[in-house]
Structure 1
Amino acid sequence: MFQDFTTRSAPEHGPARLEQLREAITHAGLTGFIVPRADAHQGEYVADCDARLGWLTGFTGSAGFCAVLPEVAGVFIDGRYRVQVRAEVDLAAFTPVHWPEIKLAAWLIEQLPKGGRIGFDPWLHTRREIDELRRALEGSGIELAESANLIDAIWSDRPAPPLAPARIHPPEFAGETSGEKRARLGAALTDLGAEAAVLTLPDSIAWLLNIRGADIPRNPVMQAFAVLHANGHLTLFVEGTKLSEDVRVHLGDEVTLRPISAFEAGLRSLTGPVLVDPGSAPHQVGRELQEAEVAVIWGEDPCILPKACKNAAEVAGMKAAHIRDAAALVEFLCWLDHAAPQGGLTEIDVVKALENARRGTGQLLDISFDTICGAGPNGAIVHYRVTEPTNRPVNAGELLLIDSGAQYPDGTTDITRTLAIGQPPEGAAEAFTRVLQGMIALSRARFPKGLAGRDLDALARSALWAAGYDYDHGTGHGVGAALCVHEGPARISRISDVPLAPGMILSNEPGYYREGHWGIRIENLILVETAPKLGDGRDHLAFATLTWVPIDRRLILVERLSATERDWLDTYHAGVFARIGPLVSAPARDWLKAACQPL
């Protein structure tokens, strides 16, 4: 199986490890130490050797950090993880802190009114992060101090770094050669007055070189660093054992290979202005350049926006992957609808059946993230990951929330469906209908060019707000093309100011969660497209739906939907049946026909 259901961390060891860390903090002449989730590549998902936050605290979420002080250790988590963190960490040793409502600087000032020295590993924090924290601590008497990594010093059985082999991403899926990309981006560097750019994000390097890897679970990337020169040449810092002869030939003569251990020396050898992204590059990158007296231009990773705006080949690959994935989902949902009423199913049974359905396509490379399959109250844990100890039966009279995705050679998928198992629990249909209204509103949105995700986020929440409801996560994230399921820079979120542009692919996933009872989320992926001219001819954008899987009509209060909303859903379901019906087995086709009947 792709998904591991064991509990990877050991929360019961938290206090002992915390005491070891506090001893190391004191020995280093510090008052505290910050333990982030991120690795040196600032990835959301990390290799086992970089799972420092989980090793220390037991918290397995994909975002957060811990600030360890002499008397308190705060685990900072956002709204997605406030239920999960209390189940995973030892609350006698660690204190959950609601972040970003409570900022780290304010918390430190409250906990250390007489000041102190807080250590951090400059390879695990960005320059922007550290600069903002320093500004917020001005006048507090609290000093930020660069430090060796104190977790690594006490983690005696730390796993070795990953050495998975890289593979070529075919040109028919990439739509542009690596040389063409490098030449285009190199010309943009010249326009900025830069002679080179430092690349530290593995998905940027994978996209730029048209290669994929397997160093990070669920994310087809290779851990590496790179320097792109304005003439299109690139220096790739990577462990050579990851590159087969075929991959080396694919990279060509304009890519120079050096070991990853040579990265610091490579930075110091650069001349002329160098572009560095303060929001993604490790703080240490800027320090190395500045100490070598290399001029730095602080700006965005040059791959970020081109990677987010998919070309025609990438869009075609994503569409094909979603059709294939939808057929697998329909076979699975047909099975589930027949199996669940008979009883005996657990969350793990459901996850295995879904992975098997996707494997049946013959093209599944991996799942795109650990499947979220929450029955009943587990559905209220936004990023719940089932393990053997938490595995729960799928009971009649409850909801089942399944958020899953797949990695195929041509595309990446991400879909959430909330299903009624028998008679829905009280209040679930009303909440589901309001979530559906929000999803439809965003799907139908037509908006002026130049607007960002923050300008559209309220569309998905309005029906919930009208009833006094809301959800504590963003409405949508960017998705890579046969790359990472979470991709920047654009999001549908109150805090995203990145203008949406044609070719961007985002999730549309409003939700509502009643802790201790159930969770609801409905998610499709949507593609930003240029909208036809209307009115006075201004430039507008709109969304095209990529996901084609039925939405559970048993949870819809039809009378609450407007005529426009009903028409949208009927049209959507007609499109599902037309596209997916011919691709599935006869029993699944019969099930799908019933599931797609007009309201």
Structure 2
Amino acid sequence: MFQSFETAARPEQGPPRLAALRAELAAEGLDGFLVPRADAHQGEYVAPHDDRLAWLTGFTGSAGFCVALRDSAGVFVDGRYRVQVKAQVAAEFTPVDWPETSLGVWIAARLPQGGRVGFDPWLLSVEQATRLRADLGAVELVPVANLVDRIWTDQPPPPAGRVFAQPEDLAGLSHGDKIAQLAAGLTRARACVLTLPDSLAWLLNIRGSDIPRNPVPHGFALLQAEGGVTLFMAAEKLADLGAHLGPQVTLAEPDAFLPALRALEGPVQIDPATCPVAVAEALAGRALVEAPDPCLLPKARKTGAELAGTRAAHLRDGAAMVRFLTWLDAQTPGSFSEIDVVRALEAERRATNALRDISFETIAGSGPNGAIVHYRVTEETDRVVQAGDLLLVDSGGQYQDGTTDITRTLAIGPAGDEERQAFTRVLKGMIALSRLRWPEGLAGRDIDALARVSLWEAGLDYGHGTGHGVGAYLSVHEGPQRIARSGTVPLEPGMILSNEPGFYREGAYGIRIENLIAVEPAPPLPGQTVARMLRFETLTYVPIDRHLVETGLLTSAERDWLNAYHAEVLERIAPLVEGAARDWLGAACAPL
């Protein structure tokens, strides 16, 4: 269930695997093959069976792709992974900054007119393929059977985890009501194709175990405008559901999905951002309505029951974090390693007796490893935590009533002036969003800069978004809401997001501070002329390391916020811990 500290592939394994793939290119008459980190369901996370990018290249980040040409191979990664990719891939692979460098433009510059690049039509969305073809120009994009699967001789089998019901009292709405509401919105189509695992889980009030750390099942569904759903999922996975799905849901095996698509009468709605090319090809000749997955926004707007469950999960998780931080504070620098940190923290979450799983692989990066944004410790990279280090711990839990995600950066012994200054600037950004009130209708891109202002004043920044959406006992990364320059979806009450500015000094240290927050209506102010304003409710209650705060950099309002936050942490968490943990908590929450 928990961290194995093993890598999917070592750098030295990449070159022979790349050579084997190139032999397949030659056999197929192709000049290149695209290997995205994706599966047929087009969710963010993939099962071991589908982790082809990691197997081929060694890169284990949660987003990216490789294009293997006959004489070069680019590994495209965004700002979160530019340090990590350098350590994980062999010299035969060239890291490429994405999205600054377009995949299609990169390929077109390296292949002649008439060049042919193969791709698996299940692993590329309609939107991705359209954009790629536009950039490729005279280079042809060719659908083929997956070439990596031909050479991956010990590929794990497809996942087959059991599915179970999510109680209505935690979901806040029956799946019958959800189906009826979404079906009523299909005014331009007779049916809608659903592929995202978390959409299926949310719509049908089910959860699964096909994706590590994310309680979602693999399957496909057709939502009918008259109010029914056909679910394409292996019968053995559904054996424990009993009568939960009811008469509104018709069951079919996965291999019936493509024939069912070919038998549909149009118009059919697809989401081009998440619909695989293979699905669109099966629907050829029918009128297609392109629109976002209809589950996305309703899923993002949490019900009252989901918010209540999430609050309860965060208090339970906060107490586990406090017990872990008490343990950490008692350790002697130099006597423990990053793996010890991960094991201690995961043991505290397990001790709640409510943990279903961790919500992602625990990040515990000390010193230079903390500068790797999504660092995952292995036996090979494990580092002893020394005095003077900053320790970045980013972790979370999956509880049936909610999903948690928290980052704390901790001083191991005295911290340097540079680290304290940078930490405080990151903290100022986190506080700015925590205190924010804004007019209804703004999106994440409209507020992202507020978390960066103090860093910008010092010529600093970070290469990731400030906040991602979070599910309710679902995926720890959830769209469409986000706080980032790319966040165009207006923020609405009930949406849960992270608030996690950071700063990373490559080769030295990393800093990130993260709380989860929920959008809620803001009480009107005297003389307010804006019709409706929103604000954030803080969900995470765990102390922030006061040893790293340069109090002179804080305004009085920021200092007041931090003191009030710590007072509330003490009030909420102290009744849930005892002994040394309660004593530690009292000291950690003392006012500045």
TM-score (norm 1): 0.97
**CA distance in 2: counterparts of 1:269 and 1:110, whole angstroms:** 41
Aligned-residue offset at 1:524: 0.2
Aligned-residue offset at 1:34: 0.6
SS in 2 for 1:551: coil
Question: In structure 2, do the counterparts of structure 1 residues 170 and 340 end up closer, same or farther at CA, with 3 Å as the change threshold?
Answer: farther
**2:65 paired with 1:60:** no
Which of 198, 215, 218 is the matching residue for 2:213?
218
Aligned-residue offset at 1:426: 4.4
**CA distance in 2: counterparts of 1:374 and 1:52, whole angstroms:** 26
For 2:564, give the aligned amino acid: T
Aligned-residue offset at 1:127: 0.4
Which of 391, 407, 429 is the matching residue for 1:438?
429
Corresponding residue of 1:308: 300
Which of 261, 264, 269 is the matching residue for 1:267?
261
For 1:566, give the aligned amino acid: R
Aligned-residue offset at 1:339: 1.5
Which deviations, in whole Å up to 9, do the C-alpha atoms of 1:42-70 show, x marking residues without a partner?
Answer: 12221111010011111111100001111
SS in 1 for 2:313: helix
**CA distance in 1: counterparts of 2:112 and 2:330, whole angstroms:** 61
For 2:354, give the aligned amino acid: Q
Aligned-residue offset at 1:114: 4.2
Corresponding residue of 2:108: 109
Corresponding residue of 1:202: 197
**2:564 paired with 1:571:** yes
Superposed, which structure 2 residues align to 1:548-567 within 5 Å? 548-567=541-560
Aligned-residue offset at 1:586: 2.0
SS in 2 for 1:438: helix
Decide whether the 8 Å contact of 1:365 with 1:408 is kept in 2. yes
**CA distance in 2: counterparts of 1:147 and 1:19, whole angstroms:** 19
Decide whether the 8 Å contact of 2:570 with 2:589 is kept in 1. yes
**CA distance in 1: counterparts of 2:42 and 2:188, whole angstroms:** 26
Aligned-residue offset at 1:340: 3.8
Aligned-residue offset at 1:288: 0.7
Aligned-residue offset at 1:41: 1.2
Corresponding residue of 1:162: 159
Which of 238, 256, 262 is the matching residue for 2:250?
256
Equivalent pairs counted in the alignment come to 590
Decide whether the 8 Å contact of 1:340 with 1:394 is kept in 2. no
**CA distance in 1: counterparts of 2:544 and 2:65, whole angstroms:** 36
SS in 1 for 2:283: helix
Corresponding residue of 1:377: 368
Decide whether the 8 Å contact of 1:268 with 1:294 is kept in 2. no
Corresponding residue of 1:128: 127
Decide whether the 8 Å contact of 1:7 with 1:387 is kept in 2. yes
For 2:155, give the aligned amino acid: R
**CA distance in 2: counterparts of 1:401 and 1:470, whole angstroms:** 17
Aligned-residue offset at 1:115: 4.6
For 1:43, give the aligned amino acid: G
Corresponding residue of 2:94: 95
Superposed, which structure 2 residues align to 1:67-78 within 5 Å? 67-78=67-78
**2:312 paired with 1:320:** yes
Decide whether the 8 Å contact of 2:439 with 2:530 is kept in 1. no
> What is the identity percentage for the equivalent residue pairs of Structure 1 and Structure 2?
61
**2:449 paired with 1:458:** yes
**CA distance in 2: counterparts of 1:51 and 1:6, whole angstroms:** 14
**CA distance in 2: counterparts of 1:537 and 1:344, whole angstroms:** 56
Aligned-residue offset at 1:254: 1.6
SS in 1 for 2:331: helix
SS in 2 for 1:355: helix
Aligned-residue offset at 1:385: 0.2
**CA distance in 2: counterparts of 1:113 and 1:103, whole angstroms:** 17
**CA distance in 1: counterparts of 2:39 and 2:505, whole angstroms:** 33
Aligned-residue offset at 1:486: 0.2
**CA distance in 1: counterparts of 2:365 and 2:153, whole angstroms:** 35
**2:282 paired with 1:288:** yes
Unaligned segments of structure 2, at least 5 residues: none
Q: Give the RMSD, CA atoms, in angstroms.
A: 1.1
Corresponding residue of 2:514: 523
**CA distance in 1: counterparts of 2:332 and 2:357, whole angstroms:** 26
Aligned-residue offset at 1:323: 0.5
Question: In structure 2, do the counterparts of structure 1 residues 41 and 340 end up closer, same or farther at CA, with 3 Å as the change threshold?
Answer: farther
For 1:101, give the aligned amino acid: E
SS in 2 for 1:430: helix
SS in 2 for 1:339: coil
Superposed, which structure 2 residues align to 1:141-156 within 5 Å? 141-156=138-153
- After alignment, is 299-308 or 250-259 more displaced? 250-259
SS in 1 for 2:282: helix
Which of 473, 477, 497 is the matching residue for 1:486?
477
SS in 1 for 2:398: strand
Corresponding residue of 2:536: 543
**CA distance in 1: counterparts of 2:29 and 2:244, whole angstroms:** 49
SS in 2 for 1:527: strand
**CA distance in 1: counterparts of 2:349 and 2:520, whole angstroms:** 28
Aligned-residue offset at 1:210: 0.4
Aligned-residue offset at 1:113: 4.5
**CA distance in 2: counterparts of 1:235 and 1:105, whole angstroms:** 36
Corresponding residue of 1:336: 328
Decide whether the 8 Å contact of 1:126 with 1:280 is kept in 2. yes
**CA distance in 2: counterparts of 1:367 and 1:115, whole angstroms:** 48
Decide whether the 8 Å contact of 1:331 with 1:585 is kept in 2. no
Decide whether the 8 Å contact of 2:360 with 2:396 is kept in 1. yes
Which of 313, 337, 340 is the matching residue for 1:349?
340
**CA distance in 1: counterparts of 2:371 and 2:324, whole angstroms:** 23
Unaligned segments of structure 1, at least 5 residues: none
**CA distance in 2: counterparts of 1:63 and 1:184, whole angstroms:** 33
Question: In structure 2, do the counterparts of structure 1 residues 340 and 227 end up closer, same or farther at CA, with 3 Å as the change threshold?
Answer: farther
Which deviations, in whole Å up to 9, do the C-alpha atoms of 1:253-272 show, x marking residues without a partner?
Answer: 22111111111111111123
Decide whether the 8 Å contact of 1:351 with 1:371 is kept in 2. yes
SS in 2 for 1:8: coil
Aligned-residue offset at 1:244: 1.9
Decide whether the 8 Å contact of 2:108 with 2:135 is kept in 1. no
**2:5 paired with 1:5:** yes
SS in 2 for 1:80: coil
Decide whether the 8 Å contact of 2:170 with 2:305 is kept in 1. yes
Aligned-residue offset at 1:137: 2.4
For 1:257, give the aligned amino acid: L
